[in-house]
A and B are shown apart, each in its own frame.
Chain A
Amino acid sequence: MLRDIQLEIAPGEIVALLGPSGCGKSTLLRQISGLDRPTAGTLTIDRTAVAPADQRSAVAFQEPRLLPWRTVARNVELGLPRGLDRRQGAERVAELLELVQLSHAAGLKPREISGGMAQRVSLARALARGPGVLLLDEPFGALDALTRLTMQDLLVDIHRAEPATIVLVTHDVDEALALADRIVLLGTRHDRPGATISMILDVPGARPRDRASVVLTRLRAKLLDALGVPSHHGA
Chain B
Amino acid sequence: MSFDERGGAPVRRPSTEGRRSASLFQFVSGYGYSAAGRDLPEVSRGRTTVTTILLGLVLPVLILAVWWVAAESGAIPDYLLPSPPQVVAAGVELAQAGLLATYILISVQRVLLGFAIGAAIGLVLGALVGLSPLASKLLAPLLGAIRAVPSLAWVPLLTIYLGIYEEPKITLIAIGAAFPVFTTVAGALRHVDPHLVEAGQAFGLGRLALLSTVQLPAVVPSIVSGLRLALAQAWLFLVAAELIASSMGLGFLLIDSQNNGRIDRMFLAIILLGVLGKTTDALVGLGERALLQRWG
Contact = CB atoms under 8 A, between A and B. Distances in A.
Given A64-B32, A67-B214, A82 B38 contact: no
B247 interface: no
A69 B198 CA distance: 17
A112 B217 CA distance: 19
Nearest to B204: A55
B203 A79 contact: yes
A63 B194 CA distance: 12
A165 interface: no
Contacts of A55: 204
A39 interface: no
Contacts of B204: 53, 55, 82
Nearest to A135: B202
A111 B202 contact: no
A123 interface: no
A78 B203 contact: yes
B35 interface: yes
Contacts of A110: 31-33
A208 interface: no
Sort chain B's interface into a size bin. 20 to 34
B247 to A, nearest CB: 48
A216 interface: no
Given A35-B198, A35-B201, A79-B203, A111 B34 contact: yes
Contacts of A68: 27, 30-32
Interface string B146-168: 00000000000000000000000
Nearest to B201: A53
B3 interface: no
Contacts of A64: 31-33
A125 B203 contact: yes
A55 B37 CA distance: 32
A33 B295 CA distance: 30
Contacts of A61: 195, 199
Contacts of A65: 31-32, 195-196, 198-199
B132 interface: no
A58 to B, nearest CB: 7
A67 to B, nearest CB: 6
Contacts of B32: 63-66, 68, 110, 115, 118
Interface in B199-227: 199-204, 213-214, 217-218, 220
B28 to A, nearest CB: 10
Contacts of B203: 58, 78-79, 125
Interface in B16-35: 27, 30-35
Contacts of A79: 203
Given A65-B195, A69-B296, A78-B213, A114 B201 contact: no
Interface of B: 27, 30-38, 195-196, 198-204, 213-214, 217-218, 220, 294-296
9 contacts: A58-B202, A64-B31, A64-B32, A111-B33, A111-B36, A112-B34, A113-B34, A115-B32, A118-B33
The 10 closest A-B pairs by CB, nearest first: A118-B33, A68-B30, A65-B199, A69-B295, A115-B33, A55-B204, A59-B202, A65-B195, A53-B201, A69-B217
